[in-house]
Amino acid sequence: MDKKVDVVLLTKNSLMPCLRECVDSIFRNIPVQRLIVVDGGSTDGTLALLKNYSNVEIIDDSNGTRATARQIGIEAVSSDWHVHVDSDVVLSEGWFRKAWKLVDAETGAIWGAAVPAEKHFFNIDYAMSKLYGKSIKELLVKQMRSQRCMLHDTLIRTAAVKGIRIPRSLHIWEDDYIGRYIIQKGFKFLKVTEPYCLHYLTPNERFSGFITTGYILRKYSIWKLSQVLRQVLLALPKSIWIFIATRDIQASKVYFLSQILILKGWLSN
């Protein structure tokens, strides 16, 4: 494929769980013009690994947040289209070719479903897919259709994010802000089952994020308290179903705790 695009990768001590596999999948599946790495001050060998690859531009953002890193990455892009890839995902084969087939004049972004690679999160989605009679990727896309915009593996029309100013406080959910900005400019933000990526985030990493998620849901009026409370009320029966479907007690606990922590974050100051 003749077309080349910039890829934005945010890192901070990202060597584990799968940085090498992530970057290998980028160069294997995307026609990379430049890999633009915005690093938050890594000390674990992340930068040493990245310097082994060609066409890598590393930008230091040691005093920043995910919001400032996204902003820097977007401003550094020079191609008409670019791709955001998280450092804890591995792209499916043929990722760019499949995404590019979906592009039309109205497309602003294409997000590929992020399938959990970690056992317990996979089992949560597996149980829910059985409950609703859908494949795991279909379930993920359905959930994302009316909720959060994400950038695990997302092809973006660069003109669709021109002029964006991401609030610095969005150290998570900056991806949703970007997605909503694209939609507000009149473009489509497509959420699809193909292409997709495998997501290697672990439960311990997620727990701190659930509280912040609740806080963001309230601060930016994304969910009303009634919506959060509804999820909490449904958490117990859904947790029981997760155990019945998977016999994974840890997955059941993770799901229940996640809803409690989101409520805690929503109620926090």
Residue 144 binned pLDDT confidence (cut-offs 50, 70, 90): low
Long-range contacts, stretch 170-174, CB < 8 angstroms, 24+ apart: 170/65, 170/66, 170/67, 170/216, 171/65, 171/66, 171/67, 171/212, 172/66, 172/209, 172/212, 172/213, 172/216, 173/148, 173/212, 173/213, 173/216, 173/220, 174/65, 174/66, 174/67, 174/70
Of 79 and 224, the structure prediction assigns the larger pLDDT to 79
pLDDT in tens, 84-111: 999 999 999 999 999 999 999 999 999 9
Residue 172 binned pLDDT confidence (cut-offs 50, 70, 90): confident
pLDDT in tens, 15-69: 999 999 999 999 999 999 999 999 999 999 999 999 999 999 999 999 999 999 9
Residue 178 binned pLDDT confidence (cut-offs 50, 70, 90): very high
pTM attached to this predicted model: 0.90
What pLDDT score does 21 carry?
Answer: 98
If DSSP states are collapsed to H, E and C, what string results for 197-245? EEECCCHHHHHHHHHHHHHHHHHCCCCCHHHHHHHHHHHHHHHHHHHHH
Three-class SS of residue 57? strand
Instruction: Say whether pLDDT at 146 is over 70.
Output: no
What pLDDT score does 1 carry?
Answer: 52
Average pLDDT, stretch 223-245? 94
pLDDT in tens, 249-267: 999 999 999 999 999 999 9
Instruction: Say whether pLDDT at 208 is over 60.
Output: yes
Residue count of the chain: 269
Instruction: Say whether pLDDT at 153 is over 90.
Output: yes
What pLDDT score does 2 carry?
Answer: 67
Alpha-carbon distance of 14 to 58, in angstroms, equals 14
